[in-house]
């Protein structure tokens, strides 16, 4: 069943041509409404309507018969109204940059126009930095890429109140769709790449480590830049995996001898052998404990890509063509699933957390049993309540956690923000002697019922779930607290969680869904320190 999203447009132009979003967002059932022209400030002054509010404000509206100082005052008023509106709504609010086409006889006047446009746009950027539910679509950048003559029509602007040409309308609509997708759909988690003719030019088994092209001269410069882009993806929270049909010693030699942006240690999973790429991608998913649908695979070889498509249709595949530099270096930026509006602290620490997990596995193997291992970890919990700063991370967890998830309800950032206004949303962070695992759990209590109780699979096996439940029950103080278990194909691990933790079973239907009421509460468990944080 598709997720329903209501979208409200308001602008100083006709917005209907910009609303052909259905084909661009096939995962959603969209309801789209339009305000009359020039109703932006009226919308901002009233109550929020819809899940997404798209506001269009053009350069004419800000600059019309106005001095630079007056234009800045108008934009300051718009920015202030935008921030106030975003503060009192959980809706996603999308605004646009102003197109920058200064028309002046004097060169210095054109420079002044460019500088003014930058100052005006900065008001929007400040609102987006301040309010996490504000996104900015760069219409100015779209017009710059298309060219003003191809993207703008003065005739359309004056006659129809729609300044954009057909190519510009299509590009702006696609940008709106991407802004919505970034907020509502989970991001891919892993970029798996080939080595030969992808990370470097040539075949290391034939050309040797010294012979592959990965320097600052073309064609090696294409591969260096691609490696730099991959490193930036890693820094933004994505994991990298190396999947190549090669001899391990040859691959290790390239990383050891050649000065490259990427190091072998930047890859969270390395599969260098002669097995089919599809088998290695399965091994990557198992090693990282992630679903195959979360992987993007990039290779230069059409045969390898087709082998993966045939065996693993859930893996997204893309071809890297170094001979077409524009396409090759624009590839990562063109993959919708890699994009996100922002990163959480957990995203940025993801690769390091996987390295810490390897250390935990080694410690577990060396310990004298599970209890001794858990005692040695020095586990600690930090639990916050209705913390706006955690909205993005909590939405991420509800959308990607499957195994330890009692109801598997999927929520957007806007949904989590709404819960925080009228319910109790707990975020759970776990640390141990190896490091900070970040926020690994979410509990939502609404209308006297545990709506959501989930933990990242990375935190399983540590015996913390009972302690979390005890803390929530204590803070809620609801003796008649209710709960549900909704079975899915992947959450059978939690089937008896409430039964085992002091809840009475009230009802179970034929599908296995259960409803509970709190009885005695969780039994005593491992003593894990809990710190409440604001």
Give one DSSP letter per residue of 16-33, joined into a string. GGG---GGG-TTEEEEEE
CATH class of 3-184: alpha beta
User: Cα–Cα distances in Å, from 479 out to 303, 419, 472, 521?
Assistant: 62, 21, 12, 10
Q: Please count the CA atoms within 13 angstroms of the CA of 375 that sit on its side-chain side.
A: 6
User: Cα–Cα distances in Å, from 198 out to 188, 267, 268, 329?
Assistant: 20, 15, 18, 11
Q: For residue 384, give both structure tokens.
A: 């916050």
Nearest to 11 by CA among 184, 160, 166: 160
Which three-class secondary structure state does DSSP give residue 339?
Answer: coil
Topology of the domain comprising 190-338: Rossmann fold (3.40.50)
269-273 β-sheet, strand order: 269-273, 239-245, 190-193, 295-299, 316-319
H helices present in 197-313, as ranges: 204-207, 220-235, 248-257, 277-288, 302-311
pLDDT of residue 167: 96
Q: What is 346-533's CATH number, 3.40.50.12780, 3.40.50.720, 3.40.630.30, 3.20.20.120? A: 3.40.630.30
Using the 8-state DSSP alphabet, how is residue 198 labeled? T
Q: Say how far apart CA 231 and CA 240 lie, in whole Å.
A: 9
pLDDT of residue 357: 67
Q: Strand 530-533 relative to strand 503-508: parallel, antiparallel, unpaired?
A: unpaired
Per-residue pLDDT of the chain (534 residues; tens, 9 = 90+): 788 999 999 999 999 999 999 999 999 999 999 999 999 999 999 887 789 999 999 888 888 888 999 999 999 999 999 999 998 888 999 999 998 766 777 888 888 888 998 999 999 999 999 998 999 999 999 999 999 889 998 898 888 899 999 999 999 999 999 999 998 888 899 999 999 999 999 999 989 999 999 999 999 999 999 999 999 999 898 999 999 999 999 999 999 999 999 999 999 999 999 999 999 999 999 988 888 999 999 999 999 999 999 999 999 999 999 999 999 999 999 998 999 888 776 676 666 767 676 666 666 666 666 667 777 788 899 999 999 999 989 998 998 888 899 999 999 888 899 999 889 999 999 998 888 888 999 999 999 999 999 998 878 888 899 999 999 999 998 788 999 999 998 899 999 999 999 999 999 999 999 999 999 888 887 788 899 998
Q: Say how far apart CA 136 and CA 157 lie, in whole Å.
A: 22
Phi-psi region of 412 (alpha: psi -120 to 50; beta: other; left: phi over 0): beta
Residue 425: how many CB atoms within 10 A of its CB? 26
DSSP-assigned states of every residue in 113-131 = HHHHHHHHHHHHHHHHHH-
Beta-bridged to residue 41, according to DSSP, are none
CATH code 3.40.50.1000 region(s) in the chain = 190-338
Q: For residue 197, give both structure tokens.
A: 């003719």
CATH code 3.40.630.30 region(s) in the chain = 346-533
Nearest to 42 by CA among 65, 11, 19, 87: 11
Largest CA distance in the chain: 81
pLDDT of residue 57: 92
């Amino acid at each position: 069943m598709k997720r329903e999203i209501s979208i409200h447009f308001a602008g100083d132009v006709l917005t209907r041509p910009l609303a052909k979003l259905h084909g661009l967002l096939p995962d959603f059932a969209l309801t789209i409404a339009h305000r009359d022209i020039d109703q932006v400030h009226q919308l901002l002054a009233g109550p929020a309507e819809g899940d997404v509010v798209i506001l269009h404000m053009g350069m004419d509206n800000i600059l019309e018969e106005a001095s630079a100082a007056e234009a800045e005052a108008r934009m300051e008023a718009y920015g202030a109204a935008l921030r106030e509106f975003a503060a009192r709504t959980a809706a996603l609010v999308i605004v646009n940059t102003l197109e920058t086409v200064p028309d002046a006889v004097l060169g210095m006047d054109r420079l002044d126009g460019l500088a003014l446009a930058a100052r005006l746009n900065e008001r929007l950027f400040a609102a987006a930095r301040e309010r996490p539910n504000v996104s900015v679509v760069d219409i100015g950048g779209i017009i710059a890429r298309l060219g003003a003559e191809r993207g703008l029509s003065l005739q359309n602007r004056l006659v129809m109140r729609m300044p954009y040409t057909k190519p510009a309308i299509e590009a702006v609509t696609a940008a709106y769709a991407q802004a919505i997708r970034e907020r509502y759909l989970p991001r891919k988690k892993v970029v798996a790449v080939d080595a030969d003719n992808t990370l470097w030019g040539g075949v290391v088994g034939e050309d040797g480590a010294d012979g592959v092209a990965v320097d600052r001269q073309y064609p090696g410069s294409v591969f260096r830049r691609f490696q730099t882009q991959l490193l930036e993806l890693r820094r933004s929270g994505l994991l990298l995996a190396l999947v190549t049909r090669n001899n391990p010693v040859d691959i290790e030699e390239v990383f050891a001898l050649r000065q490259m942006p990427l190091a072998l240690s930047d890859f969270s999973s390395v599969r260098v052998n002669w097995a089919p790429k599809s088998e290695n991608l399965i091994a990557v998913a198992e090693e990282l404990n992630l679903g195959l649908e979360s992987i993007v695979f990039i290779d230069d070889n059409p045969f390898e890509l087709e082998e993966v498509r045939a065996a693993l249709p859930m893996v997204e595949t893309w071809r890297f063509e170094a001979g077409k530099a524009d396409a090759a270096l624009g590839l990562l930026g063109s993959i919708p699933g890699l994009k996100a509006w922002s990163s959480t602290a957990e995203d940025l620490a993801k690769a390091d957390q996987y390295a810490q997990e390897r250390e935990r596995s080694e410690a577990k193997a060396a310990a004298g049993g599970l209890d001794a291992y858990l005692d040695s970890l020095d586990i600690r919990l930090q639990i916050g309540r209705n913390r706006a700063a955690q909205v993005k991370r909590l939405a991420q967890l509800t959308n990607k956690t499957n195994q330890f998830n009692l109801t598997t309800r999927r929520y957007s950032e806007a949904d989590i923000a709404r819960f925080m206004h009228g319910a109790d949303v707990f975020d759970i962070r776990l640390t141990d002697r190896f490091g900070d695992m970040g926020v690994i759990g979410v509990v939502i209590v609404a209308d006297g019922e545990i709506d959501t109780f989930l933990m990242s699979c990375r935190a399983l096996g540590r015996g913390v779930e009972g302690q979390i439940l005890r803390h929530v029950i204590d803070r809620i103080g609801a003796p008649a607290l209710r709960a549900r278990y909704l079975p899915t194909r992947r959450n059978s691990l939690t089937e008896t969680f409430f039964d085992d933790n002091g809840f009475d079973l009230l009802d179970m239907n034929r599908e296995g869904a259960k409803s509970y009421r709190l009885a005695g509460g969780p039994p005593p468990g491992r003593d894990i320190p809990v710190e409440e944080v604001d």
